[in-house]
Amino acid sequence: MEFKNIVFEKNGRIAVISINRPKALNALNSETLKELDLVIDMVAEEDDIYAVVLTGAGEKAFVAGADITEMKDMKVSEGRKFGILGNRVFRKLETLEKPVIAAVNGFALGGGCELSMACDIRIASTKAKFGQPEVGLGITPGFGGTQRLPRIVGMSAAKKLIFTGNVIKAEEAFRIGLVDEVVEPEKVMEEAINLANTIAMQAPIAVKYCKAAINRGMQCDIETALMGESELFGECFATEDQKEGMTAFVEKREKSFKNK
């Protein structure tokens, strides 16, 4: 499939999705969000993709936010519709049954920070910058920032960032737990791909269940969450890969998972 604002590549079992509007610092307009929606569906359907890396094209930005030019003259109904579109697509990414790693190579502001937070893990360049500068534009974060940021960094750190619109460096983002690793700019993709490959070597159905157990469990009470874990733990025993993983261990040989 050909996209205007997205580049999709397959590298073995890893899919690499790049937001590709470098002249606008990869700002997300409706067209790009709709393409992202399609590419996520595509990745979901390809059984031989085990992990995904999401990044921004060019040297400067991951994604510098939702497209301000497109939003500038929006009416209430249009703003709501745009917010619903972004939230729907980001939620689809968050619930994709494959792990997604954000390789944050530069600015991750507003919708860009929000996009990185809809991914499972964030690897940042030392040059990356994070923030939710929306209040300086007269709006709230609209693609999940008011909800995912406090869930990741805690309520007061999230309020501090969102109320001030402050832009923080990668090291500070690491300190507050917004990113998981900070590496030199030329190593961001390499590190993200290495991580994706390490994950792709594990039993894919088990990884899928782990993502679901964590994501669902973090949004409900501990009793329900643990029941959910037991359910998925049990389901693992219906897979060929569980038999393979444990038999290979007992037979002291290399395992070979089949995503079955």
67 or 120: CB nearest ligand CAA: 67
* Rounded alpha-carbon distances, angstroms, from residue 73 to 70, 121, 143, 151: 7, 34, 18, 31
Alpha-carbon span 249 to 113, nearest angstrom: 41
Identify the active-site residue in 97, 114, 172, 254.
114
Least distance CB 4 / ligand CAA (angstroms) = 16
116 Cβ contact list (under 8 Å, min separation 6)? 62, 63, 102, 104, 108, 122, 130, 179
74 or 137: CB nearest ligand CAA: 137
Least distance CB 25 / ligand CAA (angstroms) = 4
Q: Computed from CA positions of residues 84, 87, 91, 92, in that sequence, does the dihedral angle turn out positive or negative?
A: positive
Least distance CB 156 / ligand CAA (angstroms) = 20
185 Cβ contact list (under 8 Å, min separation 6)? 59, 105, 125, 126, 127
Identify the active-site residue in 134, 191, 240, 251.
134
172 or 244: CB nearest ligand CAA: 172
* Rounded alpha-carbon distances, angstroms, from residue 78 to 55, 73, 104, 110, 142: 28, 9, 29, 18, 12
User: 244 an active-site residue?
Assistant: no
Q: Give the CA dihedral 162, 166, 167, 173, nearest 10 degrees.
A: -60
139 or 157: CB nearest ligand CAA: 139
DSSP 95-137: T-SS-EEEEE-SEEETHHHHHHHTSSEEEEETT-EEE-GGGGG
Positions that interact with ligand CAA (CB under 6 A):
24-25, 27, 64-69, 86, 107, 109-111, 114, 133-134, 137, 139, 141-143, 145
143 or 209: CB nearest ligand CAA: 143
The CA-based angle 247-251-257, given to 5 degrees, is: 45
Please, which residues bridge with residue 54 across strands? 17, 102
**Cβ(119)–Cβ(93) below 8 Å:** yes
User: 134 an active-site residue?
Assistant: yes
For the annotated catalytic residues, the residue numbers are 114, 134
